[in-house]
Amino acid sequence: MNEQKKRTEVRLSVEGMTCDSCATHVKSALESIDEVKMVEIPSWKDGYAKVLVEGDIDEKELEGVVDKTGYKAKVEVKHEFLSSLILPVEPKATGFDVVVIGTGGAGVASAIKAAELGYTVALVERGEIGGTCVNIGCVPSKTLIRAAGIHHSAKDNPFKGTNTSAGQIQWKQLVQQKNELVSQLRKEKYIDIIAQYPDNITLLRGHARLTKDNHVILDDGTKIEPSRIIIATGARPRILQIDGASSETVLTSTTLMDLEELPKSLIIIGGRSIALELGQTLSRFGTKVTILQRSDSIIPDKEPEIIDALTAYLKDEGIDIVTGVKIVSISDGAQKTVEVQIGGATKEYQSEHILMAVGRVPNTDNMGLSEVGVELDTHGFIIVNSQMGTTNPSIFAAGDVTTLPKFVYVAAASGGIATENALKGTKNEMDLTTMPAIIFTSPQVATVGMTESMAKEAGYDVSTSVLPLKYVPRALAAHDVRGLIKLVADSRSNRLLGAHVLAEEAGEIIPIAAMAILMGRKFNFTVSDLQQMLFPYLVQAEGIKLAALAFDKDISKLSCCAG
């Protein structure tokens, strides 16, 4: 492969350019150097040039060749990292243009994008096709969450005159139905989709290892020599390295959802999304749940108003939440025991099972990433830039195996971006500024954009509104006013910076706020514009408008539908 040599991105400031012709002269001068493989000058007005160098070159040579044309150049940045200046790949007559490792959301999106662009793909998978979301993540967990919600509503119905009751949970039937849905979606959305590209995508089985010449070798000895490699191997549940903790003594989110019997009691180590979702689900099915959280609160990155309210709601449902906990050890016996320290005191908690929900570990084991110069962060995740490039110019990465947020929609989007940039030399970027995030508790937590503290740290003149859900007519009609809506805005520009919702159906509301933030950035859409929008009456999303009005008005003094 012609990318075996060291590649360096160099940015030069260039003084003296006054027109497009000047930029052309500078570009031509730099391109005259053999080691320079590509030059980008966005505009003469920007006053800089980006240069992709292959091999070793003295930065004085770059500056000198520009100086000779009558301009003044100075190297500002020089680093051996994937440049945005990637050479396009010409499709091969034989062999594979790209190897995609992993068949989850990122990997399949990546392979499909390559096929759509006319390239041939070796799609490698060592385990179950479909990755985390369909097999052991979103699909099975949300199925059980929905079932728990129905069961809970039957037991605790807020409407007078409608007498409902909930019978005993048939756990094995629930698990079987969950597994049937997983199998159906794995086939329809992954296996069958891959099969629709027989001329472009070849599915290969085995563990992939990268070699120094940027080739890929499978454990059966198969060797592939692609032009590009895209790593999308995902991540798996993390088990803390503490005394007594192992796959034999603790459950993960994967093994919990496949238990043969519903636990009578469960300790959950962790206090973020997975811990809360599965904790509330099992609690509603009748399991006694205790949550042990290291931080001083659950979901510590969320707004304090949401943290406090959700904590209270979960405790009202009978979940024991203990924060500020240091886990000391785990022991197995008739009951499993967790020894902890809380404020200097030692305490023991016991339960039938222990669930460890403390984040994820990247699937990068024995892949040879260090040998090919792919840099990892301190937790082992692949470091990528906004264009999904790694520190090896021929290797891109996408999805949960990277430093990106761990959401399947982020994974799928990053897979497409990685492929197009890798193969076509484009410079598409992943924009996470309007990325919604949802925790599927009841009520749900849905967020997008900046929190109040983030906006202040960024230097904005921050204003906020907090609207209790009791002012949202839909919540009143549903007899469920648990929750609130908090909006964060910039007082100077009157643009929305963030939205934070605690409510049933919060996930259906948050895209409206995300769109408002995006439109503010691109078209100067303001909070005033949001206040003037027409929202249908008796929908939960009307709360976004009411929260926007709350910046200026006392909502308690407004009539229904009043603006």
Assess whether 22 carries a catalytic annotation: yes
Catalytic, out of 38, 119, 133, 388: 133
3-class state of residue 56 by DSSP:
coil
Assess whether 560 carries a catalytic annotation: yes
**What gap in Å lies between CA 494 and CA 463, rounded to an integer?**
9
Tokens representing 99? 């190897």
Catalytic, out of 1, 22, 454, 515: 22
Token pair 């990068």 is at which residue?
A: 364
Assess whether 409 carries a catalytic annotation: no
Catalytic, out of 1, 138, 454, 515: 138
Yes or no: say if 224 and 234 are a contact pair by the CB < 8 Å rule: no
**What gap in Å lies between CA 55 and CA 312, rounded to an integer?**
60
Residue 101 bridge partners (DSSP): 124, 231
Cβ count near 254 (within 10 Å): 14
Catalytic, out of 48, 71, 119, 190: 71
Assess whether 138 carries a catalytic annotation: yes
Assess whether 19 carries a catalytic annotation: yes
Assess whether 537 carries a catalytic annotation: no
Tokens representing 157? 């119905």
Q: Residues 6 or more apart from 240 whose CB is under 8 A from it? A: 269, 327, 356, 358
Length of the chain: 563
Q: Residues 6 or more apart from 144 whose CB is under 8 A from it? A: 174, 178, 257, 278, 281
List of E strands, 116-262: 121-125, 201-205, 208-210, 216-218, 223-224, 228-231, 235-237
Catalytic, out of 197, 367, 454, 560: 560
Could you tell me the strand order of the sheet in which 462-468 lies? 437-439, 444-449, 495-503, 484-490, 462-468
**What gap in Å lies between CA 372 and CA 6, rounded to an integer?**
11
Cis peptide before 91 (omega within 30 of 0): no
Question: Nearest 5°: phi and psi at 80?
Answer: -90, 80
Catalytic, out of 409, 533, 537, 561: 561
Assess whether 313 carries a catalytic annotation: no
3-class state of residue 279 by DSSP:
helix
Question: How many separate helices (H) and strands (E) can be counted in the chain?
Answer: 16, 26
**What gap in Å lies between CA 447 and CA 454, rounded to an integer?**
13
Token pair 């197009």 is at which residue?
A: 420
**What gap in Å lies between CA 342 and CA 476, rounded to an integer?**
40
DSSP 450-469: --HHHHHHTT--EEEEEEEG
Catalytic, out of 17, 367, 388, 450: 17
Report, as residue numbers or ranges, the catalytic residues: 17, 19, 22, 71, 133, 138, 560-561
